Amino acid sequence: MSGRGSHVVTLAGTGATFACPGDQVVLKAALAAGQRAIPSGCHGGGCGVCRVRVLAGPYRVGRMSRAHVTEADEAAGFTLACKTFPEGALVVGLAPSRT
């Protein structure tokens, strides 16, 4: 799948799902679907409260604060939901920032 279609995002733990278009970030799609499990903060990649870990599926990210997602974190699937675009079906788990 390219990034243009809509993808299913599954929240690990609850198993709740919602649809997220490929040009939409996961956090906004979750909020639009009434899913409040992922904390909503600055929506700019700066505050880190929406930190999650992608457990499965392809995605791309925008710029995020390295105070909350280091390069090693990013390589391990940690990301900020406000800066994460799905490129296929995703499974994500909450991963609150260490700071």
Partner 1 sequence: MGVARIGHVRLRVLDLEPAVHHYETVLGMTVTHRDEGGDVYLKAWDEWDKYSVILTEADRAGLDHVAYKVAADADLDEFRGRITSRGVDVTDLAAGALHGVGRALRFTLPAGQDMVLFADKEFVGTDVGFLNPEPWPEGVRGCAVKWLDHCLLMCELNPEAGVNTVDATSQFLQDALDFRLVEQVMAGPDHSVRAAAFLTVTSTPHDIALVGGPTSGFHHAGFFLESWEDVLRAADVLARHKVKVDVTPQRHGITRGYTTYFFDPSGNRNETFGGTGYYATPDRPVTTWTEDQLGPAIFYHTGEVLPSFVSVYT
Q: Any contact of residue 60 with partner 1 (CB under 8 A)?
A: no
Q: Any contact of residue 63 with partner 1 (CB under 8 A)?
A: yes
Give the residue from 81, 72, 78, 73 showing the smallest Cα distance to 20.
81
CB contact at 8 A, 10 and 92? yes
Binding mask 7-46 for partner 1 (x = CB under 8 A): --------------------------------xxxxxxxx
Query: Exposed, middle or buried, 54 (CB in 10 Å: 0-12/13-18/19+)?
Result: buried
Listed ranges 7-15, 16-24, 60-68, 85-93: which one lies at the site for partner 1 (CB under 8 A)? 60-68
Q: Any contact of residue 47 with partner 1 (CB under 8 A)?
A: yes
How many beta carbons lie within 10 A of that of residue 13, not counting itself? 10
Q: Any contact of residue 52 with partner 1 (CB under 8 A)?
A: no
Rg (CA), the chain: 12
Per CB under 8 A, residues contacting partner 1 are 39-47, 49, 63-68, 99
